[in-house]
Structure formats: C-alpha cells, structure tokens
Amino acid sequence: MKQLRNKKSKILVAMSGGVDSSLVAALLVKQGYDVTGGFIKNWSDTKDLETGECQWRGERRDAIRVAASLDIPLLTFDFEKQYRKLVVKELFEGYEKGKTPNPDVLCNEYVKFGLFWEKAKKLGFDLMATGHYAKVATDRKGTARMFRGEDKGKDQSYFLYRVKQEALASTLFPLGGFTKTQVRRMAKKFKLPVAEKPDSQGICFIGKINFGEFLAKKLKPKPGDIVTPEGKVIGQHQGLHNYTIGQRHQIKVAGEHAWYVAGKDLNKNRLLVVRSPEDARLNANRLTMDDLHWIAGRPPKTPVKVLVQARYRQTPVPAKLKSVKNGRAELSLLTSIKAAATGQSGVIYKGRECLGGGVIT
C-alpha cells in the first residue's frame, strides 16, 4: 500500500457499502489519515425509465454503518443524471450500432475517476481512495503508472485503463497487494459490519439485471436472419444488439445443439453463427483499436512486444503493437484471441504494467 508522507492528508474514500471499499477506509483510518467516506448514488430503483435491481438505499445504509463503526463522516454524491447521460446513453448507442461497449470502463472514466475526483478536489481533499484491485507507482518523472493487482482473479486494471493521469496520480489503491481471501480476513478482524457481505454483481451502479430486458427498454426489436457460414438461414433474431461475439445461442428451429455467434452483418441485419466454440471464425490474429487512451499520456514506441486482453478475466495473449497512427493502434497477435467483439475494450500490458488501450474496431 502506498504510504503518505503527510499524515494530515485528507482522503475521500469511495465507499459503496461493500467489503472492499469498507476495508480501504478502515486501513487508512488505522494509519492515522484524515478519512471521509463518499457514497455515490448513480441509479435509482424507484424510477421506471429502465429496469434495475440496484438497492442504493440499502447500499448506502451499509456504508453509513461502516462509517459509524470507524467514526468517520460519510458524504453522499448524487450523479444519477450525469450517469444516465455519460454511461447509460453511450451503452445503448453502442449496442444499437452492433457494438459491445463496457459499462464498467465508462463508469470508471466518467464517474469514479471523473465526477467523484472533481468533487473531491473542490471539497479540499488531497487524495481519493477506492477498493479496486490494482497498483499505482510513480516513476522518476512523476508520472503515475498502473499495474495489475496481486490477486489474479480479482485484478481490475482492465476496467481502469481509461483513468486520466491526474486522477490516477491522486488515487490510492490499498487493496492492490492483497487477495480477496486476505481482504475478507482483515475485514473480520476490523469487525466491519459488511465483512461477510457477498460481492456485488451486474452493471456498475445498476446491479444484477436481465441484460436483454434492460436493452429492450430503449432498443426496439429489429428482426433479421440467422445464417450459417454457408449462407443457410436457420432462424430469426430479434435484433443484433442482443448478441455478442462468442455467445452461445440455442436455435430451436435448427436442432437441439448449440450455435455460437461469429459475426454481425449490420448492412443486411444478419447474425452469423457457427457450430463449434473452436471454429476459426471466432479467433482473431489481428486487432485494430481507436479511441485510444495511454496511462502515461503517450503511446509506447513501436513496434513493441506487448500483451493484449479483450475481455475481463480473459488470459492476455502476446502480441506486437505494430503502430499507433492517427488515433488508431494496429496489433498482430502471436497467439489468436477468442471472441474479440467490436466495441469491447482492448487493454495493452507490458508485463504487469497496464499501458492503456482502446476500443476494438
């Protein structure tokens, strides 16, 4: 955990009501820092604009209980209007175009390390802290560099690749050197009220939902053909936005065996499926990405050998970053990558360091 020289530094901890962020607050309080909790309300389960199971009131109550047990204040920030505009709107627009955007990446960029950090600065806080499983170190030039967390199963650097340099340099990730098991154990030692609370699931700040129903609230059905590589029509889909590359799909009219989504033809509104998850059409040997973001503020010198990851918890594959020109990155993969979908985040690493990444085109 990063140590601060000034014990009087004021730190705003993003407290969600979960065990991870609660332990972050406890660790910083124990070390003697001036800690305040900050609960972010981004989604209301009382509004009928979209469907969700986010029980923000219950999460806030848990955050209040933890703050009370640590004897620290808790502030509440209502970013729901901005969240709907910056994250949910972009999510729907991406799916409508046949892409597969990542809401957690957007949420970190715009809300947790955007709006929340801006509020922290205005309120006079020196730093912020979150419960992400990642590490940050500052190099000799004063540039913040991000690295994977120690827990391979919980590492969240993939979701953080778009965090801006200023926010990253001003953020503490106290859990980066711990495993989830250790976090649970420490939370019990601190006697935190949420020590045994299950991890949250689903979309950032919305919760666990039926994603198809969620998309259906805004995106109208647009039926089209489901076709095989030979061009045979074997069924009908209700909209390409309901599918992502690599997804297993049961098409009843084509028999009982499963099919796998291998491509989308937006012009003809066709969904291409294959029979085997090992079909070569599901693998990519090259990637192009735009909408790039580099942690250090600049791309690495090319060509350079790197690792690239196209999904959270996907095993990264070795690749060569061939060029970065006109806002576009070109990579040739030394090992093919499975189910890389347009709109997903392609995150680039050098060893354990996250260099940045972009949106797969």
The one-letter amino acid at 198: P
User: What is the biggest distance separating any 2 CA atoms in the chain, rounded to whole angstroms?
Assistant: 69
Residue 107 falls in the annotated catalytic set: yes
CA angle (305, 134, 354) in 5-degree steps: 20
Sheet containing strand 233-237, edge to edge, reads 233-237, 224-227, 270-274, 258-265, 248-250
DSSP at 184 = H
Q: Which of 86, 107, 271, 282 is catalytic?
A: 107
Distances in Å between the Cα of 16 and the Cα atoms of 78, 124, 304 are 13, 21, 39
User: What count of Cα atoms within 13 Å lies in the side-chain half-sphere of residue 306?
Assistant: 27
Contacts of 148 by beta carbon, 8 Å cutoff, 6+ apart? 134, 135, 155, 157, 349, 352, 353, 354
Q: Which of 204, 245, 282, 308 is catalytic?
A: 204
CA dihedral 125→130→133→135, nearest 10 degrees, is 0
Residue 354 falls in the annotated catalytic set: no
From first CA to last CA, the distance across the chain in angstroms is 37
Q: What is the C-alpha separation between 2 and 13, in angstroms, rounded?
A: 15
Long-range interactions of 311-320: CB distance < 8 A, separation 24+: 311/339, 311/344, 312/102, 312/104, 312/158, 312/159, 313/153, 314/338, 316/349, 319/287
- Residues tagged active-site: 107, 204
